[in-house]
Structure formats: C-alpha cells, structure tokens
Amino acid sequence: MLAELGSCLLLAVALLGPGLRARAMKGVKCGGVLSAPSGNFSSPNFPRLYPYNTECSWLIVVAEGSSVLLTFHAFDLEYHDTCSFDFLEIYNGASADKGNLLGRFCGQVPPPPFSSSWHVMSVVFHSDKHVASRGFSAGYQKDVCGGVLTGLSGILTSPEYPNKYPNNVECHWVIRAAGPATVKLVFMDFQVEGNEECTYDYVAVFGGPGPAHGHHYCGSTKPPTLVSLGHELQVIFKSDFNIGGRGFKAYYFSGECQEVYTSMRGNFSSPQYPGSYPNNIRCHWTIRLPPGYRVKVFFLDLDLEEPNSLTTTCEFDYLVAFDGASEEARQLGSWCGHHLPPPITSSRNQLLLLLHTDRSATRRGFSVAYIGVVPMNVSCSRTNFQILISAQTLAPLEQTKVYLGSRSCAAQEVGSNFRIQARFDTCGTETQRRNNTSVIVSILYIDFSAGEQEDIHEYEVLCEPRRKEASVHLLSGSDWLGPYAATAEHLQEAPPRAEVEALEGPVAVVAQDTSDIVFLGLCILAGVLMVIAIVVLMLL
C-alpha cells in the first residue's frame, strides 16, 4: 500500500510540476492530490458562496490499469455563454496538457458523468473577481463501468478485463464527438457468453446504421467496425447471473482523430498541427478510393517523440501505415522521430494511417498528402505508344476525359478498357535526351474535374525506342505535394504483372511490334532488287 501511495505521489509531482495551481485568496486552501479508490471534493466554502479570484486544481490518481468515474452531486457557478468568467474544467489526464480537456462548464446544469481513458483525471476550478455562487460538489471512484466519453480517442473494456467479467453487471457508455463529427468504434478483443439471440450476456451499440440503429453482439466473433450516424454512439454491456468470459476491449475514435477520405487527392495532419498533438490518443485516418486505384502517400512533415534510445524502436509516439482499411492489414511502415519517410503506395484501393501517443512528451506531429494512382499498362514499339486502362477503374469518366498530349488524342473504349494507340509524330510527343539516351516523351491527362473544380491528373509517358521499353511517371503540376511538386522521380509508377494482365482482360491481344519484321522484309526486298539489277546489267 505504501509503495502504491508513493508511486501515486511521484506521478502527481511529475504531472503537476512545481506549482499545484492552487492560487486563491489569502487563507483559502483548495485543490490537491486524491489517491484513494474513491472520494468526494468540492469548491471552497461549499455550500456557501465560493471566494473571488480563486483557482484550484485536483489531480485524481488511482491504481494503474484502472479508470476514474467522475460524477457531480451539486453544481452552481456564475453563467456565461462561453464560460469565460467562473468555470470548471475536466481533463482526461494532467491539466497542463490542453489536449486532454474533456470540457469546460458553468451555470447551474451539472456536467454529465465522465470516465477517464486511463488512471489519471484532473479537475480545475476558476473564479474571477465578480459574482460568486454556491459552487460544486463532486465524487469519484475507480474501476467502474459507464459514463460519458468525449475525448478524441480512448479505450472501452468490460469490468476486470482481461480477466473474467463479474455477473449481474450493466454498464452504459455514451461516446460523444465534438461538433458534427462521427464516432468510430473498433473492437480488438471479444469473448462474451453467446446464444443465438444474444439474450444472456451481450454488448449493444446504438446510434449507428442498421435496424432501429442498434445491434446486439455476443459470442467470440469480434463485431465489425461501427461508425455512428450522428455525433454519438451508446454502448451497453450486460451480463446475467451465471457464465462469463474474458469480455471485450475496443478503441473509439472521434472528431479530427477519425476521418475517412474518398476524394482522388487530399491532405491531412495530426490533431492541433502544427501545434503539439495531445497525449494519450489513438487516431485513425482511412483513405478509401474506388476499386482499381492504389493510394500513394507523401510525408510533408514528421515530428514525433524520438525512438527508445536503448532499443531504437518506436515505442512511445509513432505513426503506422496499413495496406488496407484495418489494423489487421499488412504494415507498410512505422515511424517516429523527425526524419521524413519516402512515399508509400498501397497494393489496393484503401490505406489506413494510425497515430499512437503515450502520456508524456509531445511534438509538432505530421502532415501528409495523398493521391489516387491509376494502374495502367503502357507499352511502346519503335514507332508508337499503346496505353491500356481499365474502364471500370475510371468509372464514371467518359473516354474523352482520358487523352494523350491533347484532347484530339482521346482514348477509345475497347472491350472493358480505355485504349490509346498513337504514333510518335502525333499527340504532342517529343524527343528528349535523358542520361545520354534518346527517349520519346508525352503527357497523359486524366480529367476528374467536376463543375468549376478543376482536377486533372498528369502522367509522363516515356519510351526508349531502341529497347522498346516504356514507363510512366505521375506528375503533380501544383503545390499540393510540397517538396515533391517539382520532381517526377519520386512518383514513378509501374503496375505489377498480375495487375497488368487483369487490366488487359478480353483485349489481352495487344498490337504486336512488327517494326523489326518490316525492316527485315525491306532489307530482303532491296537485296533481291539489287541482284536483279546486276543480272540485267550483265545481260546488256
């Protein structure tokens, strides 16, 4: 017990620093560290009027691995529409980190119950030099289930997880996003007593799509990822009088910590960027493009906590990319520190970025840009280009929106593909020397513009005629890619062979390169004519 109390006090000193933020009128004492499993606290002089010019800070620290439930018995503070005069602030952790703020409250409406996402919670009371009221009275306790969760992200677990949950328990959580944002709930582990109708033990989720906007789950199969229709999700866990299980563990994401991007190009950054990101968050950004596309991500800025100096691994704050829409997909990379990673490309049409931060040390965060890459098959002979793109990939674009060099060289729809076949002396092609080699270069345009919003993707198509080797490079032509905007070398694309075969489909018979055969035929014909000429001269 003494060791646990000592660790709590050490944590309190580290979190609060030299000033306990308990400034008040002379003779007024308030604030402090609350380390018991449960307790009560109130504003100075409660239930009488609190003093002017007072600021008090309470740090609630319970056993590590537990959570804190904060509830209010009474509440009466001077009212202001933005709570700028007298107010109460609640933090999911230390109050020194404004990213932990759960809410600011004033007036006579008590705050809802709040649950912390870890074992620390802070409460700050402030009064100005005018108008006083009765103040507030609050209580807290550890290891309870239920409450209102308003942070950018957090963890939900059944009571006593990962140990067997108790019988006859009913827990109610409300996950509330700020503003019009949605809430995403991802289950990482799930084992609850099961039956066909899920009437014994179950987890129910309300506020998402589906019958009556609610679903019941039980058994050992993880529920799917759930996204709210509005800005709230309600989660209920209930157990009956016998038979239990390990329970469940789930992450929730909300606001700027949970975004899904579906446009062909875009950019996003960590919460509060370029300011410091919050502690104790776990954020998901999903890029979801139409089938057939791949996602290419460019890192414009990266400044996270440095790796562990002993193991040189990213253990504290880190950014991870997954080749799909969930954390179960293959990892494309994991990064921390401040060195910019190279661009990454998904193998399919979805990519997930995850940001994890711990309880200490924050930095600027990250900024990325992405673009949807169109897989294509580009080939060339000594005299012409051939380009094949799946029409399904570009649906609902018309063939006139895909052209080489100029709109007069638009694609033709052949089977299930868009095809461009153009001679080197047409469609804006030109000869250049690169690395002391003569190459033929043209620009392929794919026009995604809608209304007044122009969005034209440019690909540089290149052919080395002597070797009959073709390649394609994605060009930007704008400032959206920051340091990558001026160069094509970083953006080279080459679809896998399997993807090329899939693109060709029923028109797999690509026009063969007959230039060598024609050349040999001409040489033979010239030789025959020369022999005939010599014979005729001899006869004369």
**DSSP per residue, 39-64:** EEEE-TTTTSPPPSSEEEEEEEE--T
Instruction: Find out whether 139 and 114 touch, Cβ atoms under 8 Å.
Output: no
Could you tell me if 299 and 368 are in contact, meaning their C-beta atoms sit under 8 angstroms apart? Answer: yes
**Together in a domain, 195 and 289:** no
Which of 106, 125, 114, 109 has its CA nearest to residue 43?
A: 125
Q: Which amino acid type is present at position 225?
A: T
Domain assignment of residue 200, yes or no = yes
CATH code of residue 384? 2.60.40.3210
Residues 173 and 247 in one domain: yes
Whether residue 303 is contained in a domain is answered as yes
Query: In Å, how far from its chain's centre is CA 138?
Result: 36
**Residue 45 shares a structural domain with residue 75:** yes
Question: What are residue 214's DSSP bridge partners?
Answer: 206
Residue 284 resides in a domain: yes
Q: Are 438 and 425 found together in one domain?
A: yes
Cα–Cα distance for residue pair 156/143, rounded to 1 Å: 12
Sequence-ordered list of residues with C-beta below 8 angstroms from that of 125, at least 6 positions apart, any chain = 30, 43, 50, 54, 55, 56, 57, 87, 88, 135, 136
The answer to whether position 344 is within a domain reads yes
Bond before 47 cis per omega within 30 degrees: yes
Q: Mean pLDDT for the chain?
A: 83
Q: Are strands 170-176 and 214-217 parallel, antiparallel or unpaired?
A: unpaired
Asked if residue 9 belongs to a domain, the reply is no
- H-run or E-run covering 393: helix 391-394
Write the Ramachandran bin of 2: left for phi over 0, alpha for psi from -120 to 50, otherwise beta: alpha
**Of 254, 250, 307, 308, nearest in space to 284 by CA:** 254
Q: Are residues 83 and 174 in the same domain?
A: no
Residue 46 pLDDT: 94
pLDDT at res. 187: 94
Peptide linkage before 162 cis (omega within 30 of 0): yes
pLDDT score, position 85: 94
Assigned domain for 6 exists: no
Beta strands 153-157 and 68-76, pairing class = unpaired
Query: In sequence order, what are the beta bridge partners of 447?
Result: 456
Q: Tell me the C-alpha distance between 67 and 62, whole Å.
A: 7
For residue 421, being part of any structural domain is answered with yes
Asked if residue 159 and residue 135 are part of one domain, the reply reads: no
The domain boundary, picked from 463, 481, 499, lies at 481
Its domain, for residue 79, covers 32-143
Q: Are residues 214 and 231 in the same domain?
A: yes
Q: What is the DSSP string of 421-478?
A: EEETTSTT-EEEEETTEEEEEEEEEEE--BTTB--EEEEEEEEETTTTEEEEEEE--S
Q: Average pLDDT per run of 10 along the chain, which is 540 residues long?
A: 46 45 54 93 95 94 81 94 94 78 92 84 94 94 79 86 91 84 92 92 82 77 91 92 92 88 91 89 92 90 93 93 94 95 92 92 92 89 91 84 92 92 90 90 89 84 91 65 43 38 34 49 76 79
In b/e form, how buried is each residue of 497-510, taking b as 16+ CB within 10 angstroms?
Answer: eebbeebbeeeeee
User: pLDDT (tens digit, 9 = 90+) per residue, 11-57?
Assistant: 544 444 434 333 434 447 899 999 999 999 999 999 999 999 999 99
Residue 338 to residue 363: CA distance in whole angstroms: 10
Say what the pLDDT of residue 491 is: 36
DSSP string of 338-389? SPPPPPEE-SSSEEEEEEE--SS----EEEEEEEEEPP-EEEE-SSEEEEEE
Q: Is residue 530 part of a domain?
A: no
Closest to 175 (Cα-Cα) out of 96, 105, 97, 258: 258
159 and 118 share one domain: no
- Structural domain count, the chain: 4
pLDDT tens-place string over residues 176-209? 887 778 899 999 999 999 998 899 999 999 986 5
Tokens of 447: 């026009």
Q: Which two tokens stand for residue 474?
A: 């994605």
Per the document, the length of the chain is 540
Answer with the one of 189, 220, 254 that is the final residue of a domain. 254
pLDDT score for 493: 39
Same domain, 361 and 429: no
List the one residue out of 278, 315, 264 whose CA is nearest residue 153: 278
Handedness of CA 68, 72, 77, 80 (dihedral sign): positive
Whether 137 and 229 map to the same domain: the answer is no
Are 181 and 206 members of one domain? yes
CB 91 within 8 A of CB 278: no
**Same domain assignment for residues 291 and 341:** yes
Q: What is the CATH number of the domain that holds 97?
A: 2.60.120.290
Sheet containing 417-423: order of strands: 377-380, 384-390, 417-423, 412-414
Last residue of one domain, picked from the residues 117, 143, 169: 143
